[in-house]
Amino acid sequence: MDAANLFKPMLTRGQLRCIGATTLDEYGKYVEKDVAFERQFQQVYVAEPSSTDTISILRRLKEMYEGHHGHHLPDKAIDLVDEACANVRVQLDSQPKEIDKLERKRIQVEVELHALEKEKDKASKARLVEVKKELDDLRDKL
């Protein structure tokens, strides 16, 4: 017997009120397949908060946790964590200038390659061979 079958009679009779949180995949896998169980719930979709919203939520939670645990965390500490995380993100997202330059050149050469592949004249076909070699060289460097 699974949890749905345990809760279903109490939910149906109004003896139990329940708030559940799940992903869409899990909802489809566990709740949607049992129509009687699904009728007992109202779906509420909650979007993922933005970075700014997340920081705002954490600031509000900070006060609640400080009061509960009797410890206070200065705003400076949250700002420091936020700044440290932002720095890590920038480092992960940024590339050295040389790699960035090569990557941009590779994209430019790929665009030229696709344009040349559509051409039929001899000059374009000759240039196509050169561009393919140039693209291979760029990929090797990357």
pTM (whole model) above 0.85: no
Reply yes or no on whether the pLDDT at 36 is more than 90: no
Q: What is the mean pLDDT of residues 85-111?
A: 82
Burial (CB count <10 Å: 0-12, 13-18, 19+), residue 131: buried
CA gap 111, 50 in Å, rounded: 34
User: Looking at the domain assignment, is residue 8 inside a domain?
Assistant: yes
Residues 55 and 81 in one domain: yes
> Residue 119 sits in which domain range?
97-141
The predicted-structure confidence for 61-88, as pLDDT tens digits, reads as follows 877 877 888 877 677 777 777 888 888 8
Percent of the chain topping pLDDT 70 = 98
The CA angle 92-98-101, to the nearest 5 degrees, is 95
User: Looking at the domain assignment, is residue 76 inside a domain?
Assistant: yes
Residues 118 and 134 in one domain: yes
CA gap 56, 82 in Å, rounded: 12
- What are the backbone dihedrals phi and psi of residue 120, each rounded to the nearest 5 degrees, phi first? -115, -15
